[in-house]
Amino acid sequence: MSERTFSWKDHAPATLSTVLFISQIVVGIYLVSEVSQIDVLAYVGVGLYCFSGIVFGMFPVFEFRKKGGVKKGQSYIHTTKLVDTGIYSVVRHPQYVTFIMWAFSGMLLFQHWIVILLGVPVIPLTYIDLIRADKACVERFGDDYNAYMKKVPRANFLLGIIRRFRKSER
């Protein structure tokens, strides 16, 4: 594996989506008292935020620690093995899915056109970063990752769940 240097071009989508997401939350909190909301959408937004944070945000941490060959004292992201179990058998990039769902949750929760305008670009920018992450994983894990990409969807967790159920029925 070759050592990669930091490139703003490579990290621009992630940086921009993070800035937009934080802006979405700050603006939403500031404007929430000024907007008449549809309560059920706000509750769905909170529920989606919590659900995605736990399932797609926290489960990967435990799965990487358990199966990823992370050395003691290192961050969970320093895996030495390809992990394709647990949440990673449903979707390849669950924490990116969290980010996408949180942007959508913010739109439901705050229900203001500015929040929606800030949140919408987060989705394609995050997806662009997902493509970059797949390329980096192919460089790191090679053919094993290519085979994994054929079995598990990049971000479509619903397709991943359907595939898991079909596989378990055989």
Q: Which domains does the chain have, with CATH numbers?
A: 12-169 (1.20.120.1630)
Per DSSP, the residues of 132-151 read HHHHHHHHHHTHHHHHHHHH
What string of pLDDT tens digits covers the 170 residues of the chain?
445 555 666 788 888 999 999 999 999 988 876 777 899 999 999 999 999 999 999 999 999 989 999 888 888 888 889 999 999 999 999 999 999 999 999 999 999 999 999 999 999 999 999 999 999 999 999 999 999 999 999 999 999 999 988 877 76
Residue 71 burial (CB count, 10 A): 10
CA distance linking residue 40 with residue 163, whole number of Å: 31
CA distance linking residue 159 with residue 169, whole number of Å: 15
pLDDT at 1: 44
**Per-residue pLDDT tens over the stretch 14-30:** 889 999 999 999 999 88
